[in-house]
Structure 1
């Protein structure tokens, strides 16, 4: 009878529950980085007043999916650049748009309609 030895890498959550198991250490490290990014995204989302009514399990899943798909998301976000996004002026009322406040948070109105309006003004 022959025996084989296998090394496994187990990732556990803060409660000690097993989250994932890997045999490849690089896969385990990558997954751990995804979880770390997801936690940071979750904290970011929790600080956005407009998301205060969103169930934490939903924010947790969205955070994980964004972190997991970072390779698809980073090229999209890189088009924005690192500069602070300026407040958009509402030409009809002569005041800042409700799309972005000075600190960059969304206030009222839907993001999609605000984005469409901003694109019309630029075009």
Structure 2
């Protein structure tokens, strides 16, 4: 394998439809949220994986089954940590880290939000 460069300003490649948040164990709260993605490292069943993830406008809840480090590259969204009540607004270039087991509310404000992600199912 060679280095994979994820550069700002580069067009998002074509992503594969992954269904609704329910496919990841989530729950749609508002709208017809559809998710899509493209894995660049690992697979959906790997202990670690990385790639692109997109969600369409709406709100959904997900209790994180993995640790995640991500950077938003398109659109805007807010994430609410249900355990603390803290809500943070994100725009392109912003990043976050979410620990495994955290209950989060995603609110996508634009027609689509896209992130680069790196996840690990291992406890750190």
- TM-score of the aligned structures, taking structure 2 as reference length: 0.23
Higher alpha-carbon Rg: 1
Q: Which has the higher contact order (CA 8 A, sep 6+)?
A: 2
More strand by share: 2
- TM-score of the aligned structures, taking structure 1 as reference length: 0.23
More helix by share: 1
